[in-house]
Amino acid sequence: MSDRQKRKTKTVGLGGRSRFGLIAQLRGYFFAGLLAVTPIGITLWLCWILLKFVDARVTPLIPHAYNPNTYIDPYFPHEIPGVGLIVMIIGLIVIGALTRIFLGRYMVKISENILNKMPVVRSIYSATKQIAETVLKRQSEAFRQVVLFEYPRRGSWAIGFLTGSTKGEVQNLTDEDVVNVFLPTTPNPTSGYLLFIPRRELVPLSMSVEEGIKMIISGGIVTPPDRRSPEQQKIKRVAPADGNTPTIGPGSDVSKLPLATDKVPDKDNEEGA
């Protein structure tokens, strides 16, 4: 079979394009479209589920006379999506405003005293309140730093979130300066482990908390860029795992390096000096 005949067997019109080349190109377009639509579709789907969840529980609590769905029902036999969410947001704003005045603070204090006298409810309320205050308050330092540490064995590394300094009995039992680190699981970062790790064994990362969460959810597929300066990128802060030699901290090959937040000395200035 000549070369001309071989080329004919591989083509299917359309300007003489190769059959396999056309299929590969269409497949590439398909995956490109899927990659573009999937994040938007999943985001809209989750938002719709949240909207329907809130509406189903808040809308029935609205008085019949104040419910907008009452007046549009004769003309449009469907409920307006988002009414329950809007009412919930307005209600939270009103409650937040009331807690700022004396009467509101007094009512909240009475409610807390009643809940604290209930054997089982007080434990749930105390834990929920502490978590909410830690996560929602602006002045909180929870989940403000992504750190790298050695886990679960030597030479294996994981990223976690610094949640604060360790206090109480755990800190008093050790001479180390221990911090609380939350180690999330992939692909669900809401579950994980609470670890108490010496501060000197942590390597702070330049990535933001949002970037760290995206990296964990994607299983490492989405990797944030290194935004450090070129001088900082040349510095290796983790030594190779070699027997009992520490990889970071005192005793390691990198223990005398400047911290990640320190300014790297300029070589030209040193030579000039």
Give the per-residue pLDDT at 92: 85
**Residue 125 falls inside a structural domain:** no
Q: How confident is the model at residue 161 (pLDDT cuts 50, 70, 90)?
A: very high
With 50 as the cut, is the pLDDT of residue 270 above it?
A: no
Rg of the chain taking only CA atoms, in angstroms: 29
Number of domains in the chain: 1
At residue 19, the 3 state secondary structure works out as helix
DSSP string, 112-158: HHHHHTSHHHHHHHHHHHHHHHHHH-TT--TT-EEEEEE-SSTT-EE
| Cα–Cα distance for residue pair 116/110, rounded to 1 Å | 10
Mean pLDDT of 147-158: 87
Identity of the highest mean pLDDT range in 76-80, 83-87, 134-138: 83-87
CATH value at residue 152 = 2.30.30
Q: Among residues of the chain, what percentage have pLDDT more than 70?
A: 75
Q: Measured between alpha carbons, how far is 179 from 200 in angstroms, rounded to an integer? A: 10
Give the full edge-to-edge strand order of the sheet including 192-198: 192-198, 178-184, 157-165, 145-150, 203-204
Task: Tell me which residue of 63, 55, 53 sits closest to 81, measured CA to CA.
Answer: 55
Q: Is 185 a domain residue?
A: yes
- Asked if the structure places residue 62 within a domain, the reply is no
For residue 170, is it within any domain? Answer: yes
Pick the closest to residue 144 from 160, 167, 162 (CA basis): 162
In a domain, 221, yes or no: yes
Asked, for residue 204, whether it belongs to a domain, the answer is yes
Mean pLDDT of 69-88: 77
Domain extent at residue 190: 145-233
pLDDT digits over 208-230, tens only?
888 888 888 888 888 888 888 88
Look-up of token digits 């900082």: 232
Residues 6-51: tens digit of each pLDDT: 554 444 444 445 556 788 888 888 888 888 888 888 888 888 898 8
Note whether residue 178 is domain-resident.
Answer: yes
Task: Report yes or no on 153 lying in a domain.
Answer: yes
